């Protein structure tokens, strides 16, 4: 394995797992969980999976290193990926390298953001990516290792070492991994990636620098209007970075909630409009000092209300999860974007 910082070549092929993990910890390559040994043979199998994708990678901020495909593959091996997951991981990396994603800012902030990775298209089933029950949780190798591989790349290629470049005050568990699939089968509307201009048969990764999911619990509402009231009031929080009104957010609707909203005639567009209007935060819930800060940075209130995103379209809506009357709100870092990349 080649250390990108100083190009030192370290022979690891004969190391056992325990010895390699000791070395990885000493070198600062580890996220704290056990790693697989990235032998040359394993790395070569991963590289072969993306052999046809010859698009160059730009320098990865903040270190501005141009990664080799072998270095990226080594991180995916260490994360526990299967070779067939690797094209999804490299697409996610291309997404966070979108200049509007603001990778340097999202890695260096004190905010506890992590790269959210959502997978759409037929590849979800081919790779057994969880789109249903517990899709944000444990138990699925693809979800766990794809998100983890991206995190290791940002640690080892970008240089986001906790306490050094990564200055997050407290962090959050999504920094280990944050990957899930869109539940297209139970989505009563057009799939998210198709609304972003891709074909239904395209495989697409969507990334956003976000907080961990905030649960939206509503077991009582039997109408779409009631659900949107719950969603909007939960989103109207002065404690999430969305209060700065600078960036996007995601609302991940559970299938049962989605069925109710669709039954009552709500479209994605009308959901966005309603949530935008109803999720505004009244000035009385925000300290005067914070109000002064928001106004001085260009986020002026509409009367006595602060919006949580610039426009209704900045509330990105899709369906994921399984049975149960729960949905989720994912605030973003703020100064970021939602980037979509077709998996080559």
Please, what are the averages of pLDDT over each run of 10 residues along the chain (344 residues)? 50 87 96 97 97 92 95 98 98 98 97 98 98 98 98 97 95 97 98 98 98 98 98 97 96 98 98 98 97 94 96 98 98 97 96
CA separation, residue 83 to residues 14, 45, 77, 139, 184 (Å)? 21, 6, 8, 19, 25
Number of Cβ within a 10 Å radius of residue 198? 18
H helix runs in the chain, sequence order:
17-27, 40-49, 69-79, 86-96, 103-108, 123-126, 141-156, 192-195, 224-235, 255-263, 268-278, 288-296
The model's pTM is 0.95
Confirm whether 3 is domain-assigned.
no
Does residue 7 belong to any structural domain of this protein?
A: no
> Residue 50: what pLDDT?
97
Is the residue at 42 inside a domain? yes
**Is 10 inside any structural domain?**
no
Examine residue 5 and state whether it is found in any structural domain, yes or no.
no
Check residue 13 and give its pLDDT.
72
pLDDT score for 3: 43
> Which residues neighbour 328 within 8 Å (Cβ) at sequence distance 6 or greater?
136, 213, 214, 215, 216, 250, 251, 252, 254, 320, 321
Residue 6 covered by a domain: no
Domain assignment of residue 147, given as a range: 17-342
- Rounded to 5°, the CA angle 140-202-52 comes to 90
d(CA 150, CA 157): 10
Do 332 and 113 contact (CB within 8 A), yes or no? yes
**pLDDT at residue 10, rounded to an integer:** 72
Residue 9 lies in a domain: no
Q: What pLDDT does residue 24 have?
A: 96
Is 11 inside a domain boundary? Answer: no
Number of domains in the chain: 1
């Amino acid at each position: 394995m080649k250390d990108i910082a100083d190009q030192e070549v370290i022979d690891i092929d004969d190391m056992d797992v325990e010895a390699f993990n000791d070395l990885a910890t000493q070198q600062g390559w580890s996220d704290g969980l056990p790693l697989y040994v990235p032998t040359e043979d394993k790395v070569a199998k991963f590289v072969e999976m993306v052999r046809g994708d010859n698009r160059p990678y730009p320098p990865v901020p903040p270190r501005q290193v141009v990664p080799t495909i072998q270095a990226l593959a080594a991180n995916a091996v260490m994360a526990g990926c299967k070779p067939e997951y690797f094209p999804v991981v490299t697409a996610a990396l291309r997404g966070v390298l979108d200049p509007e994603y603001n990778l340097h800012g999202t890695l260096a902030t004190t905010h506890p953001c992590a790269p959210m990775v959502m997978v759409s298209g037929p590849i979800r089933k081919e790779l057994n990516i969880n789109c249903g029950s517990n899709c944000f949780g444990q138990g699925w190798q693809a979800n766990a290792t794809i998100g983890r591989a991206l995190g290791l790349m940002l640690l080892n290629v970008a240089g986001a070492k906790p306490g050094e470049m990564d200055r997050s005050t407290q962090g959050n568990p999504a920094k280990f991994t944050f990957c899930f699939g869109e539940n297209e089968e139970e989505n009563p509307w057009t799939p998210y990636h198709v609304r972003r201009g891709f074909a239904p048969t395209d495989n697409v990764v969507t990334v956003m620098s976000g907080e961990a999911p905030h649960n939206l619990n509503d077991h009582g509402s039997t109408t779409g209007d009631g659900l949107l009231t719950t969603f909007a009031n939960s989103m109207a929080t002065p404690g999430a970075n969305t209060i700065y009104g600078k960036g996007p957010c995601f609302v991940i609707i559970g299938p049962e909630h989605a069925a109710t909203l669709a039954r009552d005639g709500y479209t994605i567009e009308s959901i966005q409009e309603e949530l935008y209007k109803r999720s505004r935060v009244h000035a009385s819930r925000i300290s005067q000092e914070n109000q002064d800060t928001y106004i001085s940075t260009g986020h002026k209130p509409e009367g006595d209300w602060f919006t949580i995103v610039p426009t209704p379209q900045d509330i990105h809506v899709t369906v994921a999860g399984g049975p149960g009357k729960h949905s989720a709100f994912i605030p973003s870092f703020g100064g970021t974007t939602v980037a979509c990349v077709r998996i080559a």
